[in-house]
Amino acid sequence: MKKLLVLFTALTFAALPATPVFANDAYGNGPGCGLGGDLFKGNKAILHQVLASTTNGTMGLQSFGITSGTIGCTNNGQFASNGHATMFADLNFENLSQEMAQGGGEHLASLATLMGVPAEQQPAFFAMTQEKYAALIQSGETTPTALLKALHETMAAHPVLAKVSLVR
Amino acid sequence: MFLGGSRFQCRGPRFFFRLSSGLPRHLVQTACLLLVITAFAPGVAAEPSDPVYLSELIRRATDVKLADSREWHALLHYRPNFFGGITSEQDGLTFFLSPDGKTNPQAELEATLTGFFSDNLIGEAKQPISCAFVARYAWLKEQLAFDDRRLPPKDCERFHNWMQGLNPRSITLIFPSAFMNNPASMFGHSLFRVDRQDQTPQTRILAYTINFMAEVPDDEGIMFAVRGIAGGYKGNFSAIPYYLKVKEYRDIENRDIWEYRLNLTDAQVRRMLMHVWEMGNASFDYFFFRENCSYQLLPLLEVANPAWRLTDQFTWWTLPGDTVRLLTKQPGVVGDAVYRPARTTQIRRRYQRLSDDERGLLGRIMGDASLVRDPAFQQLPVERRALLLDIASDYLRYQSVKDDKRAESYKSRDRDVLIARSELKVKSDDTPSEPFVTRPELGHRTSRIGVGAGYRQDEWFEEVSFRTVYHDLLDPEIGYAPGYQIELLSGAFRHYEKQNQTRLERFTLANVMSLTPADALFLSPSWKVNVGMQTLRHNGCRYCSAGVANGGAGLTFETHLLKREYFFGFGELETTYSRAFEEKHRAGGGGTLGMMADLTDRWRLLASASYLRFALGEKSDEVRWSVGQRYTLAKDAALRFEFNHRERRDNEALFTIHAYF
Using alpha carbons, select from B404, B408, B405, B416 the residue that is nearest to residue B366.
B416
Q: Indicate the average pLDDT of chain A.
A: 66
3-state helix/strand/coil string of B308-331: CCCHHHCCCCCCHHHHHHHHHHCC
- Residues of B numbered 92-151 whose beta carbons fall under 8 angstroms of chain A's beta carbons: which are they? 121, 123-127, 132
Residue B202 forms contact with A (CB below 8 Å): yes
What φ, ψ does residue B68 adopt, rounded to 5°? Answer: -95, 0
**Helix ranges restricted to H, B264-381:** 266-278, 298-304, 320-329, 343-352, 356-367, 375-378
pLDDT digits (tens, 9 = 90+) for B382-423: 999 999 999 999 999 999 988 889 999 999 999 999 999 999
The hierarchical CATH code for the domain B166-340 is 3.90.1720
Say what the pTM is.
0.83
Tell me the C-alpha distance between B236 and B218, whole Å.
Answer: 17
- Whether A95 has a pLDDT exceeding 70, the answer reads yes
Q: What residues in A contact B273, CB-CB < 8 Å?
A: none
Return residues 92-151 of A near B (CB < 8 Å).
92, 94-95, 97-98, 100-107, 109-110, 113-114, 119, 127, 130-131, 133-134, 137
CA B2 to centroid of chain Cα atoms? 31
Whole-number pLDDT of residue A136: 94
Which ranges constitute the DSSP H helices of A16-156?
A: 44-55, 82-91, 93-102, 106-114, 122-131, 133-140, 144-156
By DSSP bridging, strand B459-471 and strand B448-456 are antiparallel
B612 touches chain A (CB under 8 A): no
Residue A52 at interface with chain B, using a CB cutoff of 8 Å: no
Distance of CA B264 to the CA centre of its chain: 23
With 0-12 CB in 10 A as exposed, 13-18 as middle and 19+ as buried, what is B555? Answer: middle
Give me the total of CB pairs closer than 8 Å, taking one residue from chain A and one from chain B.
243
CB count in 10 Å sphere of residue B123: 24
| Residue among B547, B551, B618 at smallest CA distance from B589 | B551
What sections of B20-104 are H helices per DSSP?
Answer: 23-40, 51-63, 70-76
> Rounded CA gap, B254 and B435, in Å?
12
Give the per-residue pLDDT at B185: 67
- A66/chain B closest Cα distance in angstroms: 5
| pLDDT tens per residue across span B313-345 | 777 777 888 888 888 888 889 998 999 999 999
- What is the domain partition of chain A in residue ranges? 2-64, 82-167
More confident residue, A68 or B538: B538
Residues of B in contact with A94 (CB under 8 A): 251, 397
Q: How many CB atoms lie within 10 A of CB B540?
A: 7
Chain A residues 21-40 within an 8 A CB cutoff of chain B: 22-23, 26-27, 30-32, 34-35, 37-40
User: What is the pLDDT at residue A91?
Assistant: 86
Contact B2 A15 (CB under 8 A): no
> How far is it, in rounded angstroms, from Cα B46 to Cα B379?
85
Asked if the C-beta of A162 comes within 8 angstroms of chain B's C-beta atoms, the answer is no
Cα pseudo-dihedral B270, B272, B275, B280, rounded to 10: -100
- Superfamily (CATH) of domain B443-660: monomeric porin ompg (2.40.160.40)
The chain-wide mean pLDDT, for chain B, equals 87
Measured distance CA(B434)–CA(B348) in Å, rounded: 10
State CA B484 to chain mean position distance.
Answer: 16
Rounded Cα distance, A94 and A91, in Å:
8
Report pLDDT for B44: 34
Contact A108, A96 (CB under 8 A): yes
Q: How far apart are CA B34 and CA B50, in angstroms?
A: 11
Burial B81-97 (b: 16+ CB within 10 A, else e): eeeeebebbbbbbbbbb
Q: Which amino acid belongs to residue B604?
A: R
DSSP E strand stretches across B57-207: 78-80, 86-88, 121-122, 127-128, 168-176, 191-196
Residue of B nearest to A36 (CA): B2
B13 and A CB contact within 8 Å: yes
Which residue stretches of chain B have pLDDT < 50?
A: 1-46
